[in-house]
A and B are shown apart, each in its own frame.
Chain A
Amino acid sequence: MAEIVQTSADVLQMQGVYKSFGARYALNNASFNLEAREIHGLLGGNGAGKTTLMNILYGLYREDKGTIKLHGKQVEINSPKDAIARGIGMVHQHFLQVENYTVLENITLGLPGNNRFSADYRDETRVISSLIERFGLQVDLHARIEDLPMGTRQKVEILKALYRGVGILILDEPSTNLTPQEVDGLFKSLREMVNEGMSIVFITHKLQEVLDVCDRITVLRHGCHVLTLRRGEATEEAFIRAMVGEEMKIQESVLFADHARRSPVVASGQPPRLYVDSVDYKDAHGVEVLRNLTLDVHAGEILGIAGVAGNGQRELAEIIMQVYPPSSGKIYLDGRDITGMEANRLLSLGVSYIPEDRLHDGFLPKASVAHNLILGWHHQEPYSKRGFIDWAKVSREAVELIDRYNIVTNGPSEVGANLSGGNIQRVIIARGMGHLSTLLVAHNPTRGLDIPSMDAFYSLLLAKKEVRVGILLISENLDELILMCDRIAALYRGEIMGVIERSRFEKYEIGRMMSGVRTDT
């Protein structure tokens, strides 16, 4: 892979880094350089090794081999405590905060201050308040984390690092939980920090983002370094090629093709595949999670649900899948009332579900791959007859699915926990697609998939669209929605703020709806 030229302006040099988890290698001779006062984008698909490399820098993982040099001197980083002591801070994709603590407690967590046996935060408050002023990160120190919206919580994460006086700040996919407007605000804050002397690593898989804000861009693929260039020194195509490698046919892909080969949605006289009518949902704590929610998905249509995480997406998906009933309102499948139907009956009607948290909600790690491939359909023919499961048949079909969906595994009887994240996702997709004939509910389905797999999935979706399956695509990735959907609805605090047709898709308009601005369409 390409060599890096090292200059003396480097504050950080990582060379020859190897890291494997069991039999899988995540980093294979990776390298990375960071100059002073720059925003450096670390670009690549899922599984390229970007987060792993930075986790090593932050002391969360131990590298198998490799060197790390800070300001020219070689260092060993054994724990986050070490990293922080050396001025390295990290903001993770999923915030690491204690929900029922205040902002102040979260920022000062782990630091004894003047007196670890007291609860006197006066000095700390003074310092943090000045940081808030300097970098424009407004937040109420005494608010509880669980009451704050995602964008604010991210500010807390950044303040945590700034408070510890870091010189290098790593941000892992920071735009995941933000509206487009909030993303712009973040970029502005990052510029402020760089002007004050910091260096920033910006991990992402979104090319557009790095082109917007980064000074230099490094691409990783399969755990090693591919190229490092300044913004403007290469075309978009060059970066894409670097991310996906030689095998993938970019021009024919769904992701990168210039035109979208898709059929328009033809209105038929039939009732919509899915009709959600004025659904309310109050959870166990009495909180209103969904409010008067109405939407419809037509046959052959991909309807997107945009929104920052935590606005009711999960509950919407689970209510449609009949995991639990809504507090009020009705749900119709092909015109038939399915409200309160048993979940396993719904699955036998050709409805499929790809849940968001694949490990937690969709997978049985201690069971075999074969077990996992029939979960949800295990009580139906041909797998099960008169109460007994035909394991021979299950096994045969499992082998077929493993082949068709490129699942990397030793076989149907391998323990699920041994599979990598991406392969677990493939199992879940294989299972979901296999019995799909009417409606697909997919929540963040491409999370964790590398670029070719993402593309394969999008092709699958378009194929299903051709056979008039209705698809409800709930995603926190706005680019994905804009690419795939016929219409996009925005969800905010459990309400649909508006629905936009494909011809009028506009990032900031949708972003406004995601922030709670209602739009009549």
Chain B
Amino acid sequence: MDPFLGQVISFARLVMESMVPFVLAAQGTMLAGRTGLFNVAQEGMMLVGASLGFLVAYQTGSQLTGILVAAGVGGGFALLLAYLTTTLKMNQFVIGIALFFSGVGISTLLPKLAIGVTLMQPLIPTLVDIPLPLVSRIPVLGPVMFSQNAMVYFSILISILLWWFLYKTKIGRDLRAVGENPMAADTMGINVTLVRYAATIAGGLLIGLAGVYLPLVYTGTFTEGMVRGRGFIAIALTFFGGWSPIPIFYGSLFFAAVEVLAYRLQVGASHIPYQFLQILPYIATILVMMFSFYKSPVPRFLGENYDREKRSQT
């Protein structure tokens, strides 16, 4: 095989593998945002998902249990977020920030409580690749897209599912209306509270999954701060993707590509100080945001809580 082609395939494979946390976290953010709830706690939620998911997988020996628990804790955080903002009407950013650093704190505390300080890093086996029958034999496309781990496939499927749900169904239309004009939705009989809770919790499940992917695929263990800003980058991604599932998917591929490129350069072009390459993904994020925030079709009531009886104030 042509060595250049080999390089390209291995690069593309890595990108597909790396886009998962971006996609899942961004879709989770998008889903909640579409109902008006601006989640800024992703970084903390992903850290807890990574930490708790890893610990559970380690203690039980089951990757699946770890994955489910991580999703669950993401959902739990999201439930708290939804309750404090939607029902108790607290400021979404303040609660998001509080949950963010709560997540940071809890994620470092848990390993200390469960495992304590050890000399050797506890490890769990990482996810295996599952080559799909037949299609994985297609040259180039096969190894890149069809010989990946289960969560890669899940990310692709969920993006398509979300697109269909939001744009091709009446129930999706109702959900989006909650973010565009919650008062209109309320007066037409849509249960705004229920929709916000449901979307936020569903989004939280995805964000928890995004978190546990990191130990489960990259390192096999949990280290403090391993999310490294991906939670916030996911927010940027959501804007970049115009709050729409398919563009978000493509945007995630782009970010993953920058991340992989930075990593490759660190290894390959060792004459460049690695610190400069480390900041590449963040610079890319900022550049991308410069071109997408102005025009991004943000849900009209993003970040605002809805109070049915507040009309009396005007």
Q: Which A residues have a C-beta under 8 Å from some C-beta of B? A: 21, 26, 52, 55, 58, 60-61, 79-81, 84, 90, 92, 96-101, 105-106, 108-113, 115-119, 160, 359, 417, 421, 448
Residues of B within 8 A of A448 (CB): 314
> Distance (Å) between the CB of A468 and the closest chain B CB?
34
Of A109, A117, A421, which one neighbours B188 at CB under 8 angstroms? A109
Q: B191 to chain A: which residues have CB within 8 Å?
A: 79, 81
**Contact yes or no, B181 A98, CB < 8 A:** yes
**B313 in contact with A109 (CB, 8 Å):** no
A117 cross-chain contacts in B, Cβ below 8 A? 169-171
Instruction: Classify the interface of chain B: helix, strand, loop or mixed.
Output: helix
Contact A99 B180 (CB under 8 A): yes
B312 adjacent to A109 (CB under 8 Å): no
Given A110-B190, A118-B170, A55 contacting B311 (CB threshold 8 A): yes
Interface residues of B (CB under 8 A from A): 167-171, 173-174, 177, 180-181, 183-191, 300, 308-309, 311-314
| Given A60-B186, A109-B184, A117-B169, 8 further pairs, Cβ under 8 A | A79-B189, A90-B187, A109-B174, A111-B189, A112-B171, A116-B169, A119-B173, A359-B313
- Asked if residues A119 and B170 are in contact (CB atoms below 8 Å), the reply is yes
Chain A residues whose CB sits within 8 angstroms of the CB of B174 once the complex forms: 109-110
Q: Which residue of B lies closest to A119 (CB)?
A: B168
A110–B188 CB distance below 8 A: yes
B168 proximity list for chain A (CB < 8 A): 118-119
Q: Tell me the smallest distance from the CB of B301 to a CB of chain A, in Å.
A: 10
CB distance from A420 to the nearest CB of B (A): 8
A110/B311 in contact, CB under 8 A:
no
Q: Within the complex, what minimum Cβ distance (angstroms) separates B33 from chain A?
A: 16
Number of A-B contacts (CB under 8 A): 88
State in angstroms the CA–CA spacing of A160 and B177 once bound together: 15
CB pair B170 A359 closer than 8 Å: no
A-B contact pairs, 26 of them (CB 8 A): A21-B309, A26-B312, A60-B309, A79-B191, A80-B186, A80-B187, A81-B189, A81-B191, A90-B187, A96-B183, A96-B188, A97-B184, A98-B181, A99-B181, A99-B300, A100-B180, A106-B184, A109-B173, A109-B190, A110-B177, A111-B170, A111-B188, A111-B189, A113-B170, A116-B169, A116-B171
Given A80-B187, A117-B171, A96 contacting B312 (CB threshold 8 A): no
**Per a CB cutoff under 8 Å, which of A80, A101, A113, A421 touches B312?**
A421
Q: Specify which chain A residues have a CB less than 8 angstroms from the CB of B312 in the assembled complex.
A: 21, 26, 52, 421
Q: How far is the CA of A109 from the CA of B181 in the complex (A)?
A: 11
Question: By the criterion CB–CB under 8 Å, are A98 and B177 in contact?
Answer: yes
Closest to A424 in B: B313
Nearest opposing residue in chain B for A97, CB measure = B184
Cα A109 to Cα B186 in complex, Å, equals 10
Instruction: For the complex, give the distance between the alpha carbons of A84 and B190 in Å.
Output: 11
Complex contacts, A112 vs chain B, CB 8 Å: 170-171
CA separation between A55 and B314, bound complex, in Å?
Answer: 14
* B180, closest chain A residue (CB): A98
Count chain B CB atoms within 10 A of each CB in A26, A55, A110 and give the residue with the most: A110
Contacts of B167 in A (CB 8 A): 119
A115 to chain B, nearest CB (A): 8
CB distance from B133 to the nearest CB of A (A): 30
Going nearest first, the 9 A-B pairs with the smallest beta carbon separation are: A81-B189, A110-B188, A96-B184, A116-B171, A110-B189, A98-B180, A110-B190, A109-B188, A80-B187
Residues of B within 8 A of A60 (CB): 186-187, 308-309, 311
A109 to B311, CA, bound (A): 21
